[in-house]
Amino acid sequence: MGKLAVAGVLSLGTLALVATAAPAEEGPPIHVEVSAAEGPVGEPTEVRAKLTIAEGFRFIEPLPRGNRVIELSSADGGVTFARRVFRGRLDGDSVLFRLEVTPTKPGAHPINGVFRVSYVTETADSYHLRHVSLPLVTTVTGTE
């Protein structure tokens, strides 16, 4: 193939990529609600979270690594987690999470994690699958 033909094929490939790229989004169409938790030191309690998706989108059944909370941490070591990963449950246009946590000392303890969820948008002629990470930030308070 001549140099001109190769350049033409490369240009067409570039144009096709630009033409089919999805438009940039300001952020995922997901609203996150996370409760704070409170309970006696040494006793399990629950953090509940609800992720709701906007009209025109839908969450999908979890893929092997989808709709979960990962990377949980307590900056001051005042909270332990029953598991390293918590799976979400689909409920209509929402994904619900229940995280079992245990305060290990009195007081308020910030915790962090990452929601990993998958959603789609469908139109008459296209189907777009997205995987996103969203921050989980809340407080677990240990009481005496």
pLDDT digits (tens, 9 = 90+) for 11-48: 444 333 333 334 445 678 999 999 999 999 999 999 99
**pTM reported for the whole predicted model:** 0.77
Give me the amino acid identity at 124.
Answer: A
Q: What is the pLDDT of residue 114?
A: 97
Contact criterion met (CB below 8 Å) for 133 and 118: no
pLDDT digits (tens, 9 = 90+) for 53-80: 999 899 987 666 679 999 999 989 999 9
Q: What pLDDT does 8 receive?
A: 46
Q: Of 48, 73, 40, which is closest to residue 142 (Cα–Cα)?
A: 40
Residue found under tokens 């690594």: 65
User: Where does the pLDDT of residue 2 fall: very low under 50, low under 70, confident under 90, or very high at 90 and above?
Assistant: low
pLDDT tens for 82-103 read: 999 999 999 989 999 999 999 9
In the chain, the domains with their CATH numbers are 28-143 (2.60.40.10)
